[in-house]
Homo-oligomer: A and B are copies of this chain.
Amino acid sequence: MTVYDELLAHQRQIEALSQISGRLGWDQETMMPRGAATQRAEEMAALEALLHERRTDPRIGDWLDKAVALDAVSNANIRQIRRAYERNIRVPGPLAAEIARVTSIAQGVWADARRDQDVAAFLPMLDHVVRLKREEGAALARGGDVYDALLGDYEHGATAADLSAMFGALRPRLVALRDQIRGKPVPPAPHGSFGEEAQLALSQKLALTFGYDLSRGRIDKAVHPFSSGSGSDVRITMRTDPSDPFNAIYSTIHETGHAAYEQGIDPAFALTPLGQGVSMGVHESQSRIYENQLGRSRAFTGWLFGEMREAFGDFGIDDPQAFYASVNRVTDGYIRTEADEVQYNLHVMLRFDLEQALMRGDLTVGDLEAAWNDRFLADFGAAVDKPSNGVLQDVHWSVGLFGYFPTYTLGNVYAGCLHAALCRAVPDLDADLARGDTRRATRWLRAMVQQHGALFEPREVIARAIGGEPDEGPLLDYLEAKFGALYGL
């Protein structure tokens, strides 16, 4: 065995245990009896402690000193292992354990506070989480920027400065587009009876339509849609809303995009650092292009309209064009996850700025709600009516995800770039989509992005796919063209 082989064998164990941890997370959200929560927390803590031990094993440092890369794959493996190791040894074990412990409690406190509209009940926990994450960020940053250090966990190579510049370029055109649409009549939403069985069946069909492989995955109901696992066990969840069929449909297509990325990775990378999506931004580019650029296109919704009629009968929308408008309604609303393509990124920007201020100490947790509400009024022209529509709406901060939000918008920007390149590569794509056939689109995405897993750096894999540096232009052009036509601007 070479030193590299030893290093990789150790890493395979880490990857295998991480997959187990992910599977338990899935179980917790889908299958676990409610009375098992406390015991499960102890089980997970035991596993995480072991994982931490493995991840910070000093032998990794020795192996890294001596390992020799022979090709692009071993080079990328070594790069990814080194990055993770150097990150993990910077965070003291007790701090890592404390973050795990506190965030697992904080999530429950947040859920209760949101239900009870009681911000004050959540603030002490959030304050604790913020302090711990600042400590972690400082340990990671070693004198550099705390927020950038945390952001790097989700998007290696991204910086707040670069993202701010990108968001600065996005904002004026998004706001102008949104403001132009505001004066126009809002297309009607579907109404009717949307039975759960029919929604589940349609969702499954949509997942398969977008290439989801059920022999290496499964679909279950959960409170929140998510995708989990890598390699040959990539599971997705969905939910149904009896009055809104788009909820199930588009969350399923979104999660199928995430799953397609994982399922599309070269099987030779399984249980290695390359065997998973390379970053949250690139992951989101896959879920978003499936959901929006493909799933909400005029061509695809034409086919989907027929499927909807078949599944639900009459739902008050009589032709494909009206259905397309309905799928792409732009409406005022408080909730990020329900936002349309035009306004979604404005919701992200709000969070991006507030969480930077929290992490850099420019905003206290005590002032957070007021800051949120002021900013929401400025950005969206509406006063937040209750905390569950405002500062308590997202789970992220309660579980310590600071630096995660901007990757959503980065994913949208990447999806815009990929879509433009895909349309150049497959000029008659709409003819496929109009038949509900996504095969050429998904094959292109697999070949250009998905199969590589973490072989290339996040920005690099997108640049290779599109043949140039990614920027916000294609997303803005796409949005202005699509919504300009839809709203007659």
Contact = CB atoms under 8 A, between A and B. Distances in A.
A51 to B, nearest CB: 10
Contacts of A36: 216, 231-233
Contacts of A20: 20, 24, 43, 46-47
A40 B45 CA distance: 21
Given A24-B23, A233-B39, A47 B218 contact: no
A172 interface: no
Contact of A33 (B12, B19, B233): B233
A80 interface: no
Nearest to A45: B16
Interface string A1-37: 0000000000011001101100110010001111110
A79 to B, nearest CB: 23
Q: Label chain A's interface by main secondary structure.
A: helix
Given A16-B46, A20-B47, A42-B12, A35 B271 contact: no
A270 B42 CA distance: 11
Contacts of A31: 31, 218
A473 B32 CA distance: 42
A208 interface: no
A214 interface: yes
A38 B267 CA distance: 12
A187 interface: no
A335 interface: no
A42 B24 contact: no
Interface in A49-74: 49-50
A217 interface: yes
A213 interface: yes
Interface residues of A, number: 37
A337 interface: no
A116 B324 CA distance: 55
A46 B13 contact: yes
Nearest to A51: B50
B12 A46 contact: yes
Contact of A27 (B13, B27, B38, B49): B27
Contact of A232 (B33, B215, B217, B218): B33
A20 B328 CA distance: 44
Contacts of A34: 215
Nearest to A233: B36
Interface string A259-296: 00000000000110000000000000000000000000
Contacts of A218: 31, 33
A20 to B, nearest CB: 5
Given A13-B46, A39-B231, A270-B39, A214 B19 contact: no
A335 B270 CA distance: 41
A20 B28 CA distance: 12
A131 to B, nearest CB: 27
A232 B17 contact: no
A456 B262 CA distance: 49
Nearest to A13: B46
A216 B35 contact: yes
B233 A49 contact: no
B47 A17 contact: yes
A437 to B, nearest CB: 24
Contacts of A50: 13, 17, 50
17 contacts: A13-B49, A16-B42, A17-B46, A17-B47, A19-B39, A20-B24, A31-B218, A33-B217, A33-B232, A33-B233, A33-B235, A34-B215, A35-B213, A39-B231, A39-B232, A39-B271, A43-B271
Given A33-B214, A40-B233, 14 more contacts: A13-B50, A16-B45, A16-B46, A17-B43, A17-B46, A17-B47, A33-B235, A35-B232, A36-B216, A36-B233, A39-B231, A39-B270, A42-B271, A50-B50
